[in-house]
Amino acid sequence: MIDKAINKDGQGHITDTLDIVCHSMGFACALGMIDVMKGQIPFGRFYIIAPEDASAGSVPAGFTQVWQYGSNEKTDPLDKQDGVAPQTKCGGLNDNQRAYIPQDGSVPRGFISSHSIENYGWIFNKLKEGQNGYVKPRN
pLDDT digits (tens, 9 = 90+) for 61-80: 999 999 999 999 999 999 99
Name the residue ranges covered by the structural domains of the chain: 18-125
pLDDT in tens, 1-17: 445 566 777 776 766 78
Res 4: pLDDT: 56
Whether 72 contacts 86, CB under 8 Å: no
Does the pLDDT of residue 45 top 50, yes or no? yes
| CA geometry: angle 89, 112, 85, nearest 5 deg | 30
**Sheet-wide strand order for 18-23:** 18-23, 43-49, 65-70, 98-100
> What number of other Cβ atoms are within 10 A of residue 75's Cβ?
10
Rounded to a whole number of angstroms, the distance between the first and last alpha carbons of the chain is 28
Higher pLDDT, 13 or 55: 55
pTM for this predicted structure: 0.90
Q: Say how far apart CA 134 and CA 136 lie, in whole Å.
A: 6
Whether 32 contacts 25, CB under 8 Å: no
